[in-house]
A and B are shown apart, each in its own frame.
Chain A
Amino acid sequence: MIRVGVVRFPGSNCEPEACRAVERAGGSAFYLWHRDTGLAGADAVILPGGFSYGDYLRCGAIARFTPILEPIRRHAAEGGPVLGICNGFQILCEAGLLPGALVRNERLKYLSRPVDVRVERADTPFTSAYHAGEVIRLPIGHGDGRYVATEDDLDVLEAGEQVVLRYSDQGIPDAPANPNGAMRDIAGICNRAGNVVGIMPHPERLAETVVGSDAGHRVFASLMAGIHAS
């Protein structure tokens, strides 16, 4: 059984949904506390969404210095899968585990709506159950989701094929394809090795048909398949 640690910070959200999505995909999930100094044997780690530490200073800026980040860094360096969702993505950027940063949405509004994203990389631990080029509709909920990086970093990301998800319009009415002004339409990236992934959409919120769609389910199914295979 694949064991997935879901980290709780003060202000995290959707962590029960993340656990449920892992369990529905056939794994076992448990919570890690932000003050923990180890991963309790987790094979993979999920940093959930939310507003850790009230988004004080900058989103993820305080969470980055919590004790749990040290074992997560070691796990990531050893090639262990790490997924940051929304605030989790912001934390991974602040921690330097992913390049760039996430800043205030271009039109300043907090956005809570579906977006279409194209899967650019279907070989990460969290996207292998999708097809490259497939467009999926997932929910976003963020005020600070505009991905920015230096032009050099963006070119390095593109050259290394580190863009995992890109905003892409399939025809959601009255909504721009790129909801927040993210550079190069980036909705998710990975590190060079591909084991650390950060995404703005919330797949755990849309992982079973009873809530309208299970478009996010395969994020968690990917993880199970990948770890079984390795």
Chain B
Amino acid sequence: MTWRVNVRILPRAGLLDPQGQAVEHALAALRFPEARNVHVGRAIALEVTAPSAADAEAVVRRMCDKLLANPVIEDYEIEVESEGAA
């Protein structure tokens, strides 16, 4: 089966995120004082062939650990969205 998977990668909590800060300042300048703790990361969308959603998540976790994210500087979340076209 084919699964649509979204990977969300963000700077590790506690690590200085100057991009997030710059965006937060820009939002404040645009009079969005409501915005707090802005972080800029990366989203990766892919389709994965796997027998189950759990297997799809497991293989994408291996992809993240090997290539998609750098554990020194980034955290990631995996969402197996839905069953895609077979």
Contact = CB atoms under 8 A, between A and B. Distances in A.
Interface residues of B, number: 12
Given A107-B18, A108-B22, A181-B16, A100 B72 contact: yes
A148 B19 contact: no
A57 B73 contact: no
B10 interface: no
Given A104-B19, A106-B16, A148-B15, A57 B68 contact: yes
A66 interface: no
A150 B72 contact: yes
Mostly, the B contact residues are mixed
Contacts of B16: 106, 146, 181
Contacts of B11: 103
B67 interface: yes
Nearest to A150: B72
A106 B22 CA distance: 10
Q: Counting chain B CB atoms within 10 Å of each CB, which of A100, A104, A105, A181 scores highest? A: A104
Interface string B2-42: 00000000010001101100100000000000000000001
Interface of A: 57-58, 61, 65, 93-94, 100-101, 103-108, 146, 148-150, 181
26 contacts: A57-B42, A57-B67, A57-B68, A61-B67, A61-B70, A65-B67, A93-B72, A94-B70, A100-B72, A101-B70, A101-B72, A101-B73, A104-B18, A104-B19, A106-B18, A107-B18, A108-B18, A108-B19, A108-B22, A146-B16, A148-B15, A148-B72, A148-B73, A150-B72, A181-B16, A181-B18
Interface of B: 11, 15-16, 18-19, 22, 42, 67-68, 70, 72-73
